[in-house]
C-alpha cells in the first residue's frame, strides 16, 4: 500500500513532475469578457442637460394677451387688478424715476402693473410677508411690455429706483442681493394693538442698519432723540401715539415708521 510520495523518486507522474503545468492559466481580458466573468461598466446612454424652470403655459398666454392690449384695455385690466379707477390709484404708481419711458409712454401703467402683481397682494390684511427680487420683476415686465431702453440699462435703473421709492414709502423692505420684502399695511386698529417690546433696545449701529433697510433718512437731531428714548427702556407714550409723532418729525408715512420699529425689534404685535 502506497502511504506517500516522500522519497519515492522512482515514481513519476505528470502531476508531480511539473505541477505548474496544471495550474489554470489566468484568463485574458478578452476571454473573461466572452465568458461573462467581468462586469462591464454600464454604458451611459444620456448626458445631463440643464433644465429650465417650469412655467405655467396659462401665465404665458395671459402675458402674451396683455402685451397685445391697447393702452385703454390695459388701464381697464389694471383697474380691476387694483380694485380702483385710475383717477384714484395711489401715489405709489405715479413715481418719477429715471428711465421710466423704457416700458411705454405712460409709466403709471407699468408701475401699477408691478404694484398690483408684487406689492398689493402682500399688503392685504391676513397675508404673510412675500419676498421677491428685482430680477423677477424685470423678467416679468419683459414678457408683458415691449422694452425700449432710453439709454443703456435704463429699464434696470427705472425698476431699481421704483422699488427703492416703494421702500421709502413703507411698502417694501430692502434685503441683500436686490431682494425686497412686502410689508403689511398698518391698519388703524392694528396700530392700537401694537405694544412695546420690554427687551427692546436701540444702538447707533442698529438704527443705521434698520433705517437703511426701510429707506428712511433720519436727521441727526432726531437720531439722538430716538437713542435716548430706548436707552434704558421705551417711551412712556403708547405705540400709536409715538408713531404719529415720528410721522410729523420725520415726514414719513405710518407704514415706514412701523417698519423701522419692527425691524429694530422695538415693538410687538
| Same domain, residue pair 116 and 147 | yes
Q: Which residue has the higher pLDDT, 6 or 160?
A: 160
Residue 176 DSSP class: T
Which DSSP helix (H) or strand (E) runs through 268? Answer: strand 267-268
Which of these ranges, 9-18, 142-151, 161-170, 211-220, has the smallest mean pLDDT?
A: 9-18
Domain, as residue range, for 102: 57-182
Task: Please compute the mean of the pLDDT values over residues 49-75 and round it to a whole number.
Answer: 70
- Boundary of a domain, candidates 149, 182, 215: 182
Structural domain includes residue 25: no
Residue 269 in grid coordinates: 404685535
Last residue of a domain, one of 141, 161, 182: 182
- pLDDT, tens digit (0-9, with 9 covering 90-100), for 94-116: 999 999 999 987 899 999 999 99
The phi and psi torsions of 201 (rounded to 5 degrees) equal -135, 155
Q: Check pLDDT > 90 for residue 118.
A: yes
Same domain, 92 and 173: yes
Statement to judge: residues 82 and 171 lie in one domain:
yes
- Residues 137 and 249 placed together within one structural domain of the fold: no
pTM, 2 dp:
0.59
pLDDT band at 157 (very low <50, low <70, confident <90, very high): very high
Where is the domain boundary, 132, 148, 182?
182
Is residue 210 included in any domain, yes or no? Answer: yes
- Using pLDDT thresholds of 50, 70 and 90, give the confidence band for residue 32: low
**Do 136 and 63 share a structural domain?**
yes
Residues 111-129: what's their mean pLDDT? Answer: 73
d(CA 120, CA 108): 15
Tell me the C-alpha distance between 248 and 234, whole Å.
19
Judgement on whether residues 110 and 177 belong to the same structural domain of the protein: yes
pLDDT at 13 over 60: no
**Per the domain annotation, does 168 fall within a domain?**
yes
Amino acid at each position: 500500500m502506497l502511504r506517500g510520495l516522500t522519497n519515492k523518486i522512482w515514481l513519476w507522474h505528470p502531476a508531480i513532475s511539473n505541477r505548474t503545468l496544471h495550474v489554470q492559466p489566468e484568463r485574458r481580458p478578452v476571454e473573461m469578457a466572452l465568458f461573462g466573468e467581468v462586469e462591464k461598466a454600464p454604458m451611459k446612454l444620456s448626458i445631463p442637460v440643464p433644465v429650465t424652470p417650469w412655467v405655467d403655459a396659462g401665465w404665458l398666454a395671459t402675458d402674451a394677451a396683455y402685451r397685445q392690449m391697447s393702452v385703454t384695455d390695459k388701464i381697464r385690466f389694471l383697474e380691476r387688478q387694483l380694485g380702483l379707477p385710475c383717477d384714484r390709484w395711489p401715489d405709489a404708481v405715479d413715481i418719477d424715476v429715471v428711465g421710466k419711458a423704457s416700458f411705454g409712454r405712460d409709466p403709471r401703467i407699468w408701475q401699477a402693473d408691478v404694484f398690483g402683481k408684487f406689492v398689493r397682494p402682500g399688503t392685504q390684511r391676513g397675508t404673510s410677508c412675500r419676498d421677491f427680487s428685482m430680477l423677477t420683476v424685470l423678467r416679468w415686465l419683459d414678457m408683458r411690455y415691449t422694452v425700449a431702453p432710453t439709454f443703456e440699462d435704463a429699464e434696470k435703473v427705472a425698476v431699481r429706483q421704483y422699488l427703492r421709492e416703494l421702500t421709502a414709502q413703507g411698502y417694501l423692505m430692502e434685503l441683500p442681493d436686490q431682494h425686497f420684502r412686502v410689508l403689511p399695511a398698518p391698519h388703524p386698529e392694528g396700530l392700537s394693538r401694537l405694544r412695546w417690546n420690554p427687551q427692546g433696545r436701540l444702538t447707533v449701529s442698529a438704527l443705521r442698519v434698520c433705517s437703511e433697510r426701510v429707506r428712511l433718512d433720519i436727521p441727526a437731531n432726531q437720531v439722538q432723540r430716538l437713542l435716548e428714548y430706548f436707552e434704558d427702556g421705551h417711551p412712556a407714550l403708547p405705540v400709536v401715539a409715538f408713531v404719529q409723532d415720528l410721522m410729523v418729525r420725520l415726514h414719513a408715512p405710518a407704514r415706514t415708521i412701523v417698519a423701522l420699529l419692527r425691524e429694530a425689534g422695538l415693538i410687538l404685535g
